[in-house]
């Protein structure tokens, strides 16, 4: 009996260890499969062609530059919306709103976080884009700007919930000290609390960027799918095409192992690297701020 217990104990411990390491294993497998399917693209299409400005796979043009700029344009637009709105909402929920109201607002933000991106994409097609077309007098409502607006909405819950955590983690004594020195609540927020939560808020912004850049369906449905290199700011109000949308809309139709197939995986590698950098910066900030908080509070 005791021997059996020991065996169970050892077996279970092994299984749990294996599960614990699974994340590293999956991370490695994802990298491996992206590389084995994507790197051959470099042998078939020269680097110069790959980073040229024409994406027209049917005739063998595989320039991913317009896709990268498309992703960047839509993401930056989204952050210009999500950061001010998200940060202000987080400050309001954590610092200003009465607790009862905050208890209502938080689940509402979670609802937004839980809306599937196809649902937002659908609303983008049937409501937002016709509205923008008429309101801004555009030839089509399916533009980079439409995508930015929707992506802003998708990134907002991430920005709100993580900034709010960061604000909540600022010790009460900081606020009390500021108030004791005669600062108003408003001065305390922007002079003390928000600066003290700075790194957490930056993490929120980075994760928001990651969320916006990786978003696929909503963007694919509303940006109009035109892989064009933007020439001026006006391009924001013209159709665009992101990296994610390109993979999603073309992968279904390519022959396995073809040039086009490999290039789409190569775009996957680029996206993977972008998300890796964004997340490493974000987690760096978290670790650093944790270290600092521990030093200050000990």
Partner 1 sequence: MNHNDFNKLYPRRTGLLTPRNMEKAGYAGLTVLTILTVLPIIAVVIYILVQGAPAISPSFIFDMPRDGMRAGGIWPAIVGTIYLTVGTAIFSVPLGIGAAIYLAEYAPDNRVTQMIRIAIINLSGIPSVVYGLFGLGLFVLFLKFGSSILAASLTLSIMTLPVIISTTEEALRAVPHAFRVVSISLGATRWETIRRIVLPQALPGIVTGVILGLERAAGETAPILFTGAAFFLPRLPQSPLDPTMALPYHLFVISTQVPGMPVQIQYGTVLVLLVFVLGMNLIATWIRSRARARRQW
Query: Looking only at residues 85 through 124 of this chain, which bind partner 1 when binding is defined by CB under 8 A?
Result: 85-86, 88-89, 91-93, 96-97, 105, 107-112, 114-119, 121-123
Q: Minimum Å distance from CB 278 to partner 1?
A: 6
Our finding on whether 275 is near partner 1 (CB under 8 A) is yes
* Stretch in the footprint of partner 1 (CB under 8 A) among 48-56, 62-70, 168-176, 180-188: 180-188
Burial degree of 58 (CB within 10 A; 0-12, 13-18, 19+): exposed
Which residues 124-153 are close enough to bind partner 1 by CB under 8 A? 125-126, 153
Closer CB to partner 1, residue 237 or residue 274?
Answer: 274
Q: Which of 77, 20, 48, 30 is nearest to 275 (CA)?
A: 30
What track of x and - describes contact with partner 1 for positions 149 through 168 (by CB under 8 A)? Answer: ----x--x---x--------
How far apart are CB 122 and partner 1 at their closest, in Å? 5
Beta strands in the chain (DSSP E): 55-56, 61-62
Q: Is 18 in the site for partner 1 (CB under 8 A)?
A: yes
Closer CB to partner 1, 8 or 53, in the complex: 8
CB 197 within 8 A of CB 205: no
CB atoms within 10 A of CB 174: 16
Minimum CB distance to partner 1 smaller for 69 or for 129: 129
Binding of residue 80 to partner 1 (CB under 8 A): no
Q: How far apart are CA 248 and CA 250, in angstroms?
A: 6
| 112/120 Cα distance (integer angstroms) | 10
Q: Ramachandran region of residue 182, left (φ > 0), alpha (ψ -120 to 50) or beta?
A: left
């Amino acid at each position: 009996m005791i021997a059996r217990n020991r065996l169970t104990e050892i077996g279970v411990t092994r299984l749990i260890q294996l599960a614990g390491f699974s994340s590293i294993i999956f991370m490695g497998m994802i990298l491996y499969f992206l590389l084995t399917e994507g790197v051959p693209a470099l042998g078939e299409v020269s680097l110069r062609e790959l980073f040229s400005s024409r994406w027209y796979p049917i005739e063998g043009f595989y320039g991913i530059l317009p896709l990268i700029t498309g992703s960047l344009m839509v993401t930056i637009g989204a952050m210009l919306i999500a950061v001010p709105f998200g940060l202000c909402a987080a400050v309001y929920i954590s610092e200003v709103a009465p607790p009862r109201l905050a208890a209502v607002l938080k689940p509402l933000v979670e609802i937004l976080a839980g809306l599937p991106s196809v649902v937002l994409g659908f609303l983008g097609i049937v409501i937002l884009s016709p509205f923008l077309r008429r309101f801004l007098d555009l030839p089509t409502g399916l533009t980079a700007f439409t995508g930015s607006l929707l992506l802003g909405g998708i990134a907002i819950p991430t920005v709100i919930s993580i900034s709010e955590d960061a604000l909540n983690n600022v010790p009460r004594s900081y606020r009390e000290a500021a108030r004791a020195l005669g600062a108003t609540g408003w001065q305390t927020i922007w002079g003390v609390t928000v600066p003290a939560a700075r790194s957490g808020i930056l993490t929120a912004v980075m994760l928001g960027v990651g969320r916006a850049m990786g978003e696929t369906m909503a963007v694919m449905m509303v940006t109009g799918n035109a892989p064009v290199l933007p020439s001026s700011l006006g391009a924001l109000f013209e159709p665009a095409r992101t990296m994610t949308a390109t993979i999603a809309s073309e992968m279904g139709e390519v022959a396995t192992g073809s040039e086009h197939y490999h290039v789409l995986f190569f775009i996957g590698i680029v996206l993977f690297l972008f998300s890796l950098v964004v997340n490493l910066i974000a987690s760096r900030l978290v670790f650093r701020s944790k270290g600092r908080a521990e030093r200050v509070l000990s």
